[in-house]
């Protein structure tokens, strides 16, 4: 497939045009006809999107139907299905949900918002469920890969840009946002280290307790990786920026140890009250942590209503303005990203697409080398 398109391009042009690999997160929960979906995907392909991370629930049939359309338009197709956040899933039992430092279940009393119902990554039943659910989707021929999301604990510290929204000052770890203190986690940690974490005044000071929880997520990912790879499918994930600067600290993702084929850090600068240049810093951190061995696609958060950004109190509606998009792409590529990923195409305004169309054909890495 790849070879054919290169050859075709060369026949009308002596050198194929440089193009940054571009992915997009696309949600398709509402029922859309095959024809409308094809029109939408064709449009994205023409705009420069090479692969879709598609969220359409948990039914394998959906991924078969939509994946076929994606392939017909010449795009890669990955099933984007949330992992540990499970707000509405009759297949999971309430006792499998994570428990905070106050002993409250995320099922009954979730942190921050109603849908923040996370299951415990340390429950064998949770692993079995995920293995079966992702396995059934990975078996679909039209699916190129499985894309994990919410593969983490609830935020023990919220990104700085969200403090006002939730009226919180998160200067340290507080027990109501700190997971998981379920019986399984507490007893496994005691068996491993001899420490009864429920008797510790400030668990955030116990390094082994942090590492124990990084390892729970890492082990879960790496067990699932064996299953997905055995079906000859790609395995990747949306992760927090870092891993060291942010992901480990606020959601306990030590993702440089995950056995994935590609990483999609959500480099959503506005959530951290940072500008596009920060995206370069976190891309560099990511590729260094992975020792340049795995591709990093820099996740970019797009502002859906640029005119209103300064009046908009909710950070969910902030994001890159059209004139910040080019620096965001440039910073990503100059600092080692293999490509970019848009959150989301639907949020892109005509002005964003205009900037995007030009930027994705610039070879920023070579340009920056020549400038040195
Ligand atoms: Zn637990």
DSSP 49-77: --EEEEE--S-HHHHHHHHHHHHHTT-EE
Least confident of 113-117, 124-128, 171-175, 364-368: 364-368
Alpha carbon of 198 to ligand 1 centroid (Å): 13
Q: What is the pLDDT of residue 1?
A: 44
Contacts of 80 (CB under 8 A, 6+ apart): 25, 53, 54, 55, 147, 149, 238
Alpha carbon of 118 to ligand 1 centroid (Å): 10
Share of the chain above pLDDT 70, in %: 96
Closest CA to 110 of 88, 134, 130, 141: 88
Closest CA to 301 of 263, 333, 345, 337: 345
Alpha carbon of 145 to ligand 1 centroid (Å): 28
Residues 83/108, Cβ–Cβ less than 8 Å: no
Q: Is the pLDDT of residue 55 over 60?
A: yes
Alpha carbon of 372 to ligand 1 centroid (Å): 51
The residue-averaged pLDDT of 328-352 equals 98
Long-range contacts formed by 182-191: CB under 8 A, 24+ apart: 182/98, 182/99, 182/120, 182/122, 182/123, 184/120, 184/122, 184/123, 185/99, 185/120, 185/122, 185/212, 185/213, 185/216, 188/122, 188/212
Residue ranges near ligand 1 (ion) with Cβ within 5 Å: 120, 122, 180, 182, 185
Alpha carbon of 183 to ligand 1 centroid (Å): 7
The residue-averaged pLDDT of 106-113 equals 96
Alpha helices in the chain (DSSP H): 2-12, 34-47, 60-72, 124-138, 183-193, 207-230, 247-251, 276-289, 322-334, 350-359, 364-371
Q: What is the pLDDT of residue 242?
A: 97
pLDDT in tens, 3-42: 555 445 555 556 778 999 999 999 986 788 999 999 999 9
Alpha-carbon gap, residue 228 to 139, rounded angstroms: 9
Alpha carbon of 105 to ligand 1 centroid (Å): 10
Contacts of 362 (CB under 8 A, 6+ apart): 18, 20, 330
Alpha carbon of 117 to ligand 1 centroid (Å): 13
Alpha helices in 111-179 (DSSP H): 124-138
Q: Is the pLDDT of residue 53 over 60?
A: yes
Alpha carbon of 98 to ligand 1 centroid (Å): 5
Closest CA to 309 of 352, 339, 264: 352
Alpha carbon of 265 to ligand 1 centroid (Å): 25
pLDDT in tens, 113-126: 999 999 999 999 99
Q: Is the pLDDT of residue 151 over 90?
A: yes
Alpha carbon of 313 to ligand 1 centroid (Å): 35
Q: What is the pLDDT of residue 14?
A: 62
pLDDT in tens, 192-207: 999 999 999 999 999 9
Alpha carbon of 120 to ligand 1 centroid (Å): 4
Alpha carbon of 176 to ligand 1 centroid (Å): 14
Alpha carbon of 121 to ligand 1 centroid (Å): 7
Q: What is the pLDDT of residue 368?
A: 82
Alpha-carbon gap, residue 148 to 237, rounded angstroms: 4
């Amino acid at each position: 497939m790849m070879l054919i398109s290169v050859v075709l391009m060369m026949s009308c042009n002596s050198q194929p045009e440089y193009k940054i690999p571009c992915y997009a997160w696309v949600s398709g929960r509402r029922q859309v006809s095959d024809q409308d979906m094809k029109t939408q995907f064709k449009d994205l392909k023409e705009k420069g999107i090479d692969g879709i991370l598609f969220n359409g629930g948990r039914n394998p049939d959906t991924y078969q139907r939509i994946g076929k359309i994606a392939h017909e338009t010449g795009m890669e197709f990955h099933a984007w299905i949330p992992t540990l956040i499970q707000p509405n899933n009759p297949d999971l039992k309430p006792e499998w949900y994570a428990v905070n430092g106050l002993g409250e279940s995320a099922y009954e009393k979730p942190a921050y918002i109603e849908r923040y119902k996370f299951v415990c990554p340390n429950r064998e039943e949770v692993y079995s469920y995920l293995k079966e659910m992702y396995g059934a989707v990975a078996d679909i021929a039209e699916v190129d890969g499985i894309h994990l999301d919410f593969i983490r604990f609830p935020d023990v510290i919220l990104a700085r840009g969200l403090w006002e929204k939730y009226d919180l000052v998160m200067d340290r770890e507080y027990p109501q946002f700190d997971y998981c203190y379920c019986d399984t986690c507490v007893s496994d940690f005691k068996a491993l280290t001899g420490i009864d974490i429920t008797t510790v005044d400030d668990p955030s000071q116990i390094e082994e307790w942090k590492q124990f929880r990084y390892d729970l997520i890492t082990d879960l990912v790496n067990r699932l990786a064996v299953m997905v790879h055995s079906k000859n499918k790609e395995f990747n994930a949306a992760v927090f920026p870092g891993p060291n600067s942010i992901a480990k600290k606020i959601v306990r993702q030590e993702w440089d140890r995950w056995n994935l084929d590609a990483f999609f850090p959500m480099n959503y600068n506005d959530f951290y009250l940072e500008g596009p240049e920060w995206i370069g810093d976190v891309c560099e951190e990511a590729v260094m942590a992975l020792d340049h061995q795995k591709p990093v696609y820099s996740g970019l958060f797009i502002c859906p209503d640029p005119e209103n950004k300064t009046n908009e109190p909710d950070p969910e509606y902030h994001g890159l303005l059209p004139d910040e998009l080019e620096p965001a792409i440039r910073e990503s590529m100059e600092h080692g990203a293999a490509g970019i990923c848009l959150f989301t195409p639907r949020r892109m305004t005509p002005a964003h697409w205009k900037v995007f169309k030009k930027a994705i054909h610039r070879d920023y890495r070579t340009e920056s080398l020549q400038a040195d």
